[in-house]
Structure 1
Amino acid sequence: MIQQRERVAEFRRLHQSGTFVMANPWDVGSARALAGLGFAALATTSAGFAWSMGQPDNAVGLQPTLSHLRTISAAVQVPVNADFQNGYAIEPDDVAANVRLAAETGIAGLSIEDFSGDPTDPLLEAGLAAERIVAARAALDAAGRGLVLTARSEGFVWGRPDLNDTIRRLTAYAEAGADCLYAPWITDLAHVATIVRAVAPKPVNLLIHTPFATVADAARIGVRRISVGGMLAKTAWRGFLSATHEILTQGTFTQFADLPDLNGLLES
């Protein structure tokens, strides 16, 4: 418990000023490597974890996710934020119950999104979505560990790229008790800057899923936190798939040259 409190305190400190990158591991090896390389905080990725389980994103349920959170939190000393998807429930009371379980895994924070689970009608009604954040905040406060609550609005992910609606939702989530606000898949820095101003002084997380911005760019417009979602996992999968394609189609192994010393990286 004391160690978790220390990680939560450090995670909150990171959000107070400057800009930090929160890299996203998908298993113990990648988590230890990223922490060893110097990232001050990590975040799980539901997509990367699902792929490592041989499943598509959004296909892994609550119990495997809770086990994954415990495993990743125990593997590193830095704060870990949980990609907790939509709370694995719709009704606020059910979200709260699941958040309480997540708070016991050793994480320093978690995110709750407003995805309905139905791609044809992807966003929960705004009032219900805000009630879910209220419930998640109450659950975390009741746990007494001060975890950082991030509220995500998923319109740009699911083909509803309405900036005004996104801002209305994020503002409501901030008022409902979210500590950090997040609208993934926005690639227009002017839009991001508008969100930063709208929810200030609360911090904003920016997802970099394409090379549209740098850390310096994000810092200039006041972004506090950057994450990369499943992109590091995809990068690893790209190398794997590229090498296997070469073997199958050309019978050569050129991509086995100049490989990293993983034993050396992870031996500590």
Structure 2
Amino acid sequence: MQHAPNQYVIKISCPATSGIVAAVTTFLADHGCYISEMAQFDDEVSGTFFMRAVFRFNAGLKGDIAVIEQGFVDVAGKFAMNWELHDASQPMRVLLMVSKFDHCLSDLLYRHQKGELHMQITAVVSNHLDLRPMAEREGIRFIYLPVTRDTKAQQEAELMKIVDETRTELVVLARYMQILSDDLCKQLSGRAINIHHSFLPGFKGAKPYHQAFERGVKLIGATAHYVTADLDEGPIIEQEVQRVDHNYAPDDLVAVGRDTETVALSKAVKYHLEHRVFLNHDKTVIFR
């Protein structure tokens, strides 16, 4: 039985100029690589060029990805590139954070089990014990880190210790109902994804769906974004929306909200796992 060849993903961002695509594709071709997927975008506002390519070594060629990595340094230097090279066969190491709501965790575990999300879950961390059975049923390590005002700094330090020890590459806040400190947000910059309803900043605080009901909203939405020190205002990765009407009671709106949150979060996580997301200042570029 033949095994599919390993695929690799190269991500590039650099000042926009001519010759970038030619330089990258020529380099890969000269090193015996076949490009199976490529996308590019030129942001004329910031003058930045973004590119993502998926490639593999040509059949019958025993290529060495280390040679590609070393050789590409010269190409990258010529164009002042920020670049990353990833082995697509390696699952990303992901830590999930939860509180009491189970819908996002349940959805991510299901999609992972079905092979939709190419990741290795390093642990489930929670400030409550409610979802411990769900994690342990899947054979996933559950870590209880209760948070109070007095213990917040200590528990955040413990969280970073876990992230480092497990070599976690991505942290997903799957309805984790604690505000992260500015310091922790900086440490997790570009590698932590959060999900929340899209009523902000209109309906803040408790029971936003009940507030929405009182105002007769016609759209229910959810936003998945990278975590930053600006609460719920990080670069947006994915948004989901569903139309509602006067027939929807508050509990119906909550149910619709759960659906939009699970879909938006799973899509955002998938894009990140597949190295499709580029940070572009306060925005993102995503090659779907």
Same fold at TM > 0.5: no
Higher RCO (CA 8 Å, separation ≥ 6 residues): 1
* Structure having the larger proportion of residues in helix: 1
